Amino acid sequence: MQQDGNGTLMSTQGDGEEAAVKTEKTGRRTKSARPTIRDVSRLAGVSRMTVSRVMSEPERVLPETRDRVLRAIADLGYVPDKAAGSLSSRRTGFIALILPTLTNANFSTVAHGLTEVLREADYHLLIAYTGYDKAEEERQLASLLARRPEAIILTGAAHSRAASRMLLSAEIPVLEAADLSGRPFQHAVGFSNYEVGRVAARHLISRGWRRIGAVGAVQDGQVGDYRGEERIRGFEDELRLSGLSTDLVLRHGSAPVSYAHGAAAISILLQREPAIEAVFAVSDLSAVGVIMECQRRGIDVPASLSVMGFGDFEIGRSINPPLTTIHVDFHALGRRAGAILLDVLAGDSEDEAPHVVDVGLTLIERDSVGRKG
């Protein structure tokens, strides 16, 4: 695999049989030329039809002939070119996946779960990332659709009008992952980020805390973590329902959030309200940054400040104190998304009712949240 200039991960496979280049002096293939089915047939001493049959229906070929062809394939490093066949069959074998980032472990886990399911049906992922930028999502979507995937998976449910128009005209299954909105585009597998915020607020309130804050990123035009913003919105609403102030809910910096984001955000909140009692961060990464900054300042977590995150990242389980968080099974989410797409692709998608699956969420109580009194 290699990355193109647009940030899309793509196959380095060549362009077919015509890639076999011969030098004028020797008549031999150059070292850089991609081996072709003709090369395999010559080395194995069989017809090209026999080579094709070995790859598609090996049980119909005599064992001795099949072994000779497979040895030639291995010796030459031959990879069949599926593009030509897909022009007439409309099957490319690719499913596109657009992620906001490649560095977030939970998004990587979604991709792993998807791959496990799709590879069993001989489908492969074509992955792009957007950097949380809607305009970049448009560019990556156009690039991916030009490669004619059989389905596309997008992370989240917030898309520009241009992106929505491209999805409508693509006439392929579309699945939104890691977010559930009231009106999914088509199929959706995820959870309510709004409910994540509400669960976090209820937990901190149940521990007796009243001066409660939260930290997330600023939504800056086209660039923003809309899933994180939904968590903040749910958190604020739950505070209001309990008669508590939202003055300590802070939107700071740009997505994606990080350890540095958490450290900077808690510094601002401590300056605003030194007696703050509890903080929810929209990501464990930011929450860990909060804890590290508290430790640098000599602030005891959780005795002086309770800290809570989202995502159940490994570092949150490993720090001291271990981080209270909200867990979502992103691996199961990826596998479920893959299974739904395989079902849709195997049937008549026009008659297929939309699949909307809530994978749920789980509160993981650890030592970073204390109890008042």
pLDDT of residue 76: 83
HSE of 127, CA atoms in CB hemisphere, 13 A: 18
pLDDT of residue 335: 97
Q: Which helix (H) or strand (E) holds 71?
A: helix 63-76
Q: Quick one: average pLDDT of 63-80?
A: 86
Query: CA-CA distance, 227 to 257, in Å (whole number)?
Result: 12
pLDDT of residue 7: 43
Token pair for 265: 């955000």
Average pLDDT, the chain: 86
- 260-313 tens-digit pLDDT: 999 999 999 999 999 999 999 999 999 999 999 999 999 999 999 999 999 999
Q: What single string gives the DSSP state of each residue in 257-319?
A: P-HHHHHHHHHHHHHH-TT--EEEESSHHHHHHHHHHHHHHT--TTTT-EEE-SS--HHHHHS
Nearest one of 183, 178, 122 to 150, comparing CA atoms: 122
What length is written for the chain? 373
Residue 142, pLDDT > 50, answer yes
Do residues 286 and 323 touch, judged by C-beta distance below 8 A?
no
Assign 326 to helix, strand or coil: strand
What is the pLDDT confidence band of residue 26, given thresholds at 50, 70 and 90? Answer: very low
What is the pLDDT confidence band of residue 78, given thresholds at 50, 70 and 90? Answer: confident
Residue 33, pLDDT > 80, answer no
Query: CA-CA distance, 165 to 167, in Å (whole number)?
Result: 5
Determine the number of helices (DSSP H) and then strands (DSSP E) in the chain: 13, 14
pLDDT of residue 318: 96
Computed on alpha carbons and rounded to an integer, the radius of gyration of the chain in Å comes to: 26
Do residues 93 and 345 touch, judged by C-beta distance below 8 A?
no
Residue 14, pLDDT > 70, answer no
- 166-201 tens-digit pLDDT: 888 888 999 999 988 777 889 999 999 999 999 999
Domains of the chain, first to last: 17-81 (1.10.260.40), 88-191+330-362 (3.40.50.2300), 193-327 (3.40.50.2300)
Token pair for 91: 């099957």
- 305-352 tens-digit pLDDT: 999 999 999 999 999 999 999 999 999 999 999 999 999 998 754 556
Sequence-distant (≥ 6) Cβ neighbours of residue 336 within 8 angstroms: 113, 189, 357, 359
Token pair for 55: 């790859």
What is the pLDDT confidence band of residue 12, given thresholds at 50, 70 and 90? Answer: very low
